[in-house]
Amino acid sequence: PHAGPADRKNEAAMSELVPEPRQKPVVPMKPTGINASLLGYIGIDTIIEQMRKKTMKTGFDFNIMVVGQSGLGKSTLVNTLFKSQVSRKSSGWNREEKIPKTVEIKAIGHVIEEGGVKMKLTVIDTPGFGDQINNENCWEPIEKYINEQYEKFLKEEVNIARKKRIPDTRVHCCLYFISPTGHSLRPLDLEFMKHLSKVVNIIPVIAKADTMTLEEKTEFKQRVRKELEVNGIEFYPQKEFDEDLEDKTENDKIRQESMPFAVVGSDKEYQVNGKRVLGRKTPWGIIEVENLTHCEFALLRDFVIRTHLQDLKEVTHNIHYETYRAKRLNDNGGLPPMTVETEENHESNM
Amino acid sequence: VVFQGEGCRTVPLSGHVGFDSLPDQLVNKSVNHGFCFNILCVGETGLGKSTLMDTLFNTKFEGDPASHSQPGVQLKSNTYDLQESNVNLKLTIVSTVGFGDQINKEDSYKPIVEFIDAQFEAYLQEELKIKRVLHNYHDTRIHACLYFIAPTGHSLKSLDLVTMKKLDSKVNIIPIIAKSDAISKTELTKFKIKITSELVSNGVQIYQFPTDDESVAEINGTMNAHLPFAVIGSTEELKIGNKMMKARQYPWGTVQVENEAHCDFVKLREMLIRVNMEDLREQTHTRHYELYRRCKLEEMGFKDTDPDSKPFSLQETYEAKRNEFLGELQKKEEAMRQMFVQRVKEKEAELKEAEKELHEKFDRLKKLHQDEKKKLEDKKKSLDDEVNAFKQRKTAAELLQSQAQQAGGSQTLKRDKERK
């Protein structure tokens, strides 16, 4: 009266390919647990420390993409977020370079370290997005890039002899910059987010928020939220992925009140009240980037980096990537084998 | 796409960013998820496997005591939910039953190997599914195999060598000397040396506690030298001094389980649980499982891409195999359907036959019944006729008699009158 692991019904034909083991295991595992009460300290809670040590040793990858029209302060914001010169503009690229005629994808990788934690941060910039006269389908190169990274990972995952740690270039987070018009979202914004929210975690931010007063900001945010809802755009954190009640309560608050974050970026420091702060200097005052009464940068930073970074990666891996993989494996060879167009092509398949 | 930064350079931070909370974020997620740990105990009957588990985890695990009535080697498995502070652990303990009891032990290792493989297989099947739920999968793969060596004091038995050799590429083996209070200290040292040299000379790869992380390198290195651990198990607590301790009492003295001078129990617990539990899980996944997967896929005929083939040939091979398989399935299905139709026809014919017979029988019976009825009616009629005839005669007779009487009576009257 029990079903061994070999008996488990296979949902997909793919797994039926793996032939049944000739004999069932002698005694199958019973997954339901019996509660055993411990009579003394054993030390199984040390696994937390063990795990922490291991992760610190392997380090972390994080890939963040920024999308928005030219001049919205994308590179500055990323530099501010990570308190270092990590964006494209800072890495020796010509500051005065022309706006490209088509959307380009430029990825820059850096290693940053803090408190013993090593992170390989990759910032993916998308110059040219929304800058043309005719912007039809300008999200396509971006969607293509995102899917290419899933493809790369999948290829590595299905290898027979595979790497101990598959290099992760998948986009974990996409910051979408909304122009602070004060009115509503533009059609391009809606189109982009509609298409891409299904394949990647999108976090909309209102750029250059220092051009709006507090009331204008609140109203604009409300309008944007409404519009996103009306258009069925699920931005991160997506409602359907809330894991438990605690998550839901926490995320509901963020979704319904804080987002989209109205931010200001700066990599310049000024002296304010005896402290050195990051800010923007104007004739009428210094806008302190990390001051919550001035703008919501600190909220964005805490959200993306200090509380939800790991979750962004997990949603990307467990949901977006799995969706891509399932779709890819289901298509009966209908899709031509995708060619990966990055310059790293030459190093594959060797 | 242009990618810059293959040889990524380190960039300095001008302030506190906050990603140093990453390990905490990751750990918190794992804690919410819960952990799995699966131990396999291999050893002959009576070496104290269950007692040791009870002692290690400081609890009395309920489980039906093993019944040693089966002929071959069996594996008994139980899963327990343990909780300590905020850690929820799903602990599975698998034990061999009847290992070493057989006369012919050539195949004794097989059920064990098959069991370990079956867990890998289950994971592989999940991994290969199109719609899979890997992050919620209940991992049943064996993370540590405690191999119980009998405390003979001499050397390893050939069964031990053979079994460990078969298992060393599939699971992390930690050999332990069971019931080690049966051996004296000096004999124990010699025994350990003998065992270690036999393992080495036979090329058995036992699990080495990792020494690459400086924080644990020293302790792990020392412990590696103490293998195999000589252990004693006991769940009985005795008062020693003014404390209650786990111990075994003999007329000549008391053996304390947690006294490192008496046995290596504390070392085992330290290594297995408090220092290397995570490493054991990692090695199982990245080394043993990968090896199993690689062999299995190669066996099934998959190859990695060769220099000039298309990028996703695994998928194409899959497709080909899948179509082949589906084709076979269809043929089988067709054959089964034919057979089914055939059987149905036969059965139908049988039933019709039976029905016909029944009808005939019924008709016969009915006729019989009717005949019988008619006979009875005829008889009745003749009987009635007789009765009627009789009645008639009776009436006639009675009439005659009464006439005669009357005539005689009137004559008598006449005679009487004449006499007068």
For residue B355, is pLDDT > 50?
A: yes
Question: Which residues of chain B are within 8 Å of residue A43 when distances are taken between CB atoms?
Answer: 84, 269-270, 273-274
Band of pLDDT at residue B62, cut at 50, 70 and 90: low
pLDDT at B327: 86
Q: For residue B255, what is the enclosing H or E element?
A: strand B253-256
Structure tokens at A307: 């509380």
Domain boundaries, chain B: 29-300, 313-390
Taking all residues of chain B, what is their mean pLDDT, rounded to a whole number?
A: 87
pLDDT at A337: 38
pLDDT at B314: 57
Contact B4, B107 (CB under 8 A): no
Identify which of B19, B290, B297 has the shortest CB distance to residue A305.
B19
The residues near B95 (Cβ < 8 Å, ≥ 6 apart) are B40, B41, B49, B50, B53, B66, B75, B76, B77
Band of pLDDT at residue A32, cut at 50, 70 and 90: very low
- In 3D, which of B197, B191, B285, B277 has the Cα closest to residue B230? B191
For residue A327, is pLDDT > 50?
A: yes
The residues near B43 (Cβ < 8 Å, ≥ 6 apart) are B49, B96, B99, B100, B146, B147, B148, B149, B150, B178
pTM (whole model) above 0.80: no
Instruction: Give the minimum alpha-carbon distance from B73 to chain A in angstroms, rounded to a whole number.
Output: 9
Band of pLDDT at residue B71, cut at 50, 70 and 90: confident
pLDDT at A22: 39
Question: Which residues of chain A are within 8 Å of residue B303 when distances are taken between CB atoms?
Answer: 160
What is the rounded CA–CA span in Å between residue B191 and residue B175?
13
Structural domains for chain A: 58-332 (3.40.50.300)
For residue A40, is pLDDT > 80?
A: no
For residue B192, is pLDDT > 50?
A: yes
Identify which of A26, A44, A53 has the shortest CB distance to residue B74.
A26
pLDDT at B323: 79
pLDDT at B216: 87
Minimum Cα–Cα distance from A81: chain B residue? B17
Q: Which of B31-40, B177-186, B406-415 shows the lowest mean pLDDT across its residues?
A: B406-415
Band of pLDDT at residue A39, cut at 50, 70 and 90: low
Phi-psi region of A243 (alpha: psi -120 to 50; beta: other; left: phi over 0): alpha
Q: pLDDT (tens digit, 9 = 90+) per residue, A168-196?
A: 999 999 999 999 988 889 999 999 999 99
Question: Which residues of chain B are within 8 Å of residue A301 when distances are taken between CB atoms?
Answer: 17-18
pLDDT at B325: 79
Q: pLDDT (tens digit, 9 = 90+) per residue, A133-151?
A: 888 888 899 999 999 999 9
Quick one: angle between helices B313-419 and A322-330, nearest 10? 80
Q: How many Cα atoms within 13 Å fall on the side-chain side of residue A73? A: 21
pLDDT at B190: 92
What's the Rg (C-alpha) of chain A?
A: 23
For residue B229, is pLDDT > 90?
A: yes
- The 8-class DSSP code of residue A333 comes to S
The residues near B341 (Cβ < 8 Å, ≥ 6 apart) are none
* Amino acid occupying residue A19: P
Name the percent of chain A lying above pLDDT 70.
80
Q: Which of A82-91, B135-144, B280-289, B408-417 shows the lowest mean pLDDT across its residues?
A: B408-417
Question: Which residues of chain A are within 8 Å of residue B82 when distances are taken between CB atoms?
Answer: 36, 38, 42, 44
pLDDT at A36: 58
Identify which of B9, B82, B282 has the shortest CB distance to residue A111.
B9
What's the Rg (C-alpha) of chain B?
A: 46
For the purposes of burial, counting CB atoms within 10 Å of the CB of A337, is it exposed (0-12), middle (13-18) or buried (19 or more)? middle
Asked if the Cβ–Cβ distance from A23 to B114 is below 8 Å, we say yes
Instruction: Give the minimum alpha-carbon distance from B121 to chain A in angstroms, rounded to a whole number.
Output: 8
Q: pLDDT (tens digit, 9 = 90+) per residue, A227-276?
A: 999 999 999 999 888 888 888 888 888 888 888 999 998 888 888 888 88
End-to-end CA distance of chain A: 50
Name the percent of chain B lying above pLDDT 70.
90
For residue B104, is pLDDT > 70?
A: yes
Asked if the Cβ–Cβ distance from B111 to A52 is below 8 Å, we say no
Beta strand pairing call for B243-250 and B253-256: antiparallel
For residue B309, is pLDDT > 60?
A: no
What is the rounded CA–CA span in Å between residue A217 and residue A262?
7
Minimum Cα–Cα distance from A46: chain B residue? B274
Say which residue, A164 or A62, is predicted with more confidence.
A62
Name the percent of chain A lying above pLDDT 90.
37
Minimum Cα–Cα distance from B35: chain A residue? A47
Structure tokens at B320: 């080909």
Q: pLDDT (tens digit, 9 = 90+) per residue, B312-344?
A: 455 566 667 777 778 888 899 999 999 999 999
- The 8-class DSSP code of residue A6 comes to G
Over residues A271-300, mean pLDDT: 88
The residues near B130 (Cβ < 8 Å, ≥ 6 apart) are A11, A12, A14, A15, A325, A326, A329, A330
Over residues B355-383, mean pLDDT: 94
Question: Which residues of chain A are within 8 Å of residue B3 when distances are taken between CB atoms?
Answer: 107-109, 342-344
C-alpha B151: how far from its chain's center?
Answer: 31
For residue A161, is pLDDT > 90?
A: no
Q: How far is CA B344 from CA A307, B19, B331, B347, B357, in A?
A: 66, 70, 20, 5, 20
ipTM comes to: 0.78
Instruction: Give the minimum alpha-carbon distance from B370 to chain A in angstroms, rounded to a whole number.
Output: 59
CATH number of B29-300: 3.40.50.300
Structure tokens at A310: 């790991």
Over residues A56-84, mean pLDDT: 90
Band of pLDDT at residue B64, cut at 50, 70 and 90: low
C-alpha B398: how far from its chain's center?
Answer: 101
Structure tokens at A350: 């060797």
Minimum Cα–Cα distance from A323: chain B residue? B131
Quick one: angle between helices B158-167 and B109-128, nearest 10? 10
